[in-house]
Amino acid sequence: MTITDFKELNESGLYFDGYALVKSAQEATTKGGVPFFNITLGKQEKSISTKLWENKFNNHDLAQLKKVFENGNVLHIKGKLSEYRDQLQLTIDEFAFPEEGVVQVEDYLESAPEPIESLRAEYENYIGNIESPVLREICQRLYDEHKDKFITYPAAKSNHHCFTGGLLYHTVSMLRLGDHISGQYKEVKKDLVMAGIALHDMGKVVEYTNYFAPDYSKVGNFLGHITIINMFIDRKVQVLKDEIPWTRKEADEVYELMHVINAHHGKLEYGSPVESKILEAEVVHQIDMMDSRINMITYGLQDENLQENEAKRIFPMGLYYRTSQSD
């Protein structure tokens, strides 16, 4: 049976003749030294491991193939679906670029599970309600400056919230938790938690190259998103010092904000320049861990081939089962 919609590929033996998005592609070699490509093709939330063997290179050299199977390209693919180690795998027979105007890449991208516009409005409301003038102004000005990318970029290249709008969705999810936790625990400085969450991953708009097939930019590789956003904060501070009353209090709030962002990965080996030294930094770290891990587990278990009572290994966390469902 021939399938034309990539999302309907669900069993071995089907033949695919349709369009798919290149999510990743790596050149590899067999034990005998023969080149081939490991590719991940997809449409929205669905992805399938794919192989392009040398006998199907169709007179393309390796340099040409790397350009054809570049992340973010939508291609016309023909190939057969089979099983390898209990996982579906597509083997490509033919490939070609679609004719201009036939497909739109946006139709193949996975997007946030809530409307971007409502998430955007919610984010703006949270930062507008920060009472500290200096923290609110820093958040507002950086958001205004990077809004277009912030609302479309993913939160990560892989693992968690790696879809269009994922950065905004992840941040709003964390802001909801931060709002609740700050109300539950009165000793937590709410403004600092909310500002820290609002900005903690904003440096990814520079760390990544684009929203549809993100890779690390040169600056991203050099500095990382934590250093990038703290650089942005410091630049805004130099402007704000000339615009609002500046005392030791404002300086301390900025240093605390930068520390919260520096420590939000939790441990040095996870990429944090420092570990938490104040309560609010630990709160933001725990919220970040909770939201990212819930997303990793939830999306990891959305596997149509996963059988009842079967565990799935979710990188980098380990084996997980689906919760039993009531009849």
What is the pTM for the complete model shown? 0.84
pLDDT at residue 122, rounded to an integer:
98
Residue spans of the domains in the chain: they are 2-108, 116-299
pLDDT at residue 85, rounded to an integer:
81
Contact 207, 220 (CB under 8 A): yes
Token pair in block for residue 44: 């929205």
User: Taking the chain (327 residues) in consecutive chunks of 10 residues, what is each chunk's mean pLDDT?
Assistant: 94 96 92 94 91 95 94 95 90 95 90 94 98 97 97 86 92 98 97 98 95 88 96 96 91 97 92 95 97 90 77 87 75
Contact 148, 164 (CB under 8 A): no
2-108 falls under which CATH superfamily? Nucleic acid-binding proteins (2.40.50.140)
